[in-house]
Homo-oligomer: A and B are copies of this chain.
Amino acid sequence: MIAKAKLATKPRKSPSQERSRATVDAIMQASTYILNEVGWGGLNTNAIAERAGVNIASLYQFFPNKQAVIAELQRRHVTSIRADIQHALQNISNQPTLRVALTVIVEMVVKEHQSAPEVHKAISEELPLSQRCKQYDQGEMLKEMVNALLPFMKNVPDPQLATYMVGISIKAIVHQVTNQRPELLNHSSLVDELVTLMERFLIRE
């Protein structure tokens, strides 16, 4: 018997009282802990509740189902970095040179990975892609990035495509480096090289 289901992922009620918020926070923290220490296979609602120190029935008073817990986990992470992202993107156009603009972007992505590395790692490495919130990976920033970078480009036949490629590359490289060779992030040469990779691609002379 093979079946697939879609469930509501909205939190059941907004934690208005302090007590409630603490409970939800504990659930989020516990979920992150388990994802990192045990992995996706160990992430079950009973374990989350136990680790969080809340009763399993309480968990279900704040979340309609397991999916909602996972969704909230991602929503929180996205929210926590969205401000940074927005801020960075808006500043890009004001930068004097492409090099500076790209540096801003790269550093933003790095920051994104370092702000809550466990959460990020848990989400990006343990959650099967089918469990991911659309918003999470999907760069809404793409359009904004295109607009921001367009003025700097020279001889780029398809700016949209180029931006797409640039976005993917930056994310992928920063992600891999963060998880496989974090020591490289300390040497500025990585950021430099990343910026160079993009710069030479977007300005072709």
Contacts and interface: CB of A to CB of B under 8 A. Distances in A.
A185 interface: no
A100 interface: no
A176 B41 CA distance: 25
Interface string A150-183: 0000000110011001001101110010000000
Q: How many copies, total?
A: 4
Interface in A1-56: 1-4, 34, 37-42, 47, 50-51
A125 B200 CA distance: 31
A180 B184 CA distance: 30
B42 A4 contact: yes
Given A37-B2, A128-B40, A201-B200, A168 B176 contact: yes
Give the most central of A41, A128, A194: most B CB within 10 Å: A128
A1 to B, nearest CB: 7
A87 interface: no
Main secondary structure of the interface of A (DSSP, over half): helix
A135 interface: no
A144 B201 CA distance: 25
A125 B126 CA distance: 10
User: Chain A interface residue count: which class?
Assistant: 35 or more
B196 A130 contact: no
A161 B173 contact: no
B162 A193 contact: yes
A161 B193 contact: yes
A189 interface: yes
Contacts of A38: 2-4
A161 B190 contact: yes
Nearest to A165: B173
Given A128-B128, A158-B193, 12 more contacts: A1-B50, A4-B37, A4-B42, A39-B128, A39-B130, A41-B128, A125-B129, A126-B129, A161-B190, A169-B173, A169-B197, A196-B204
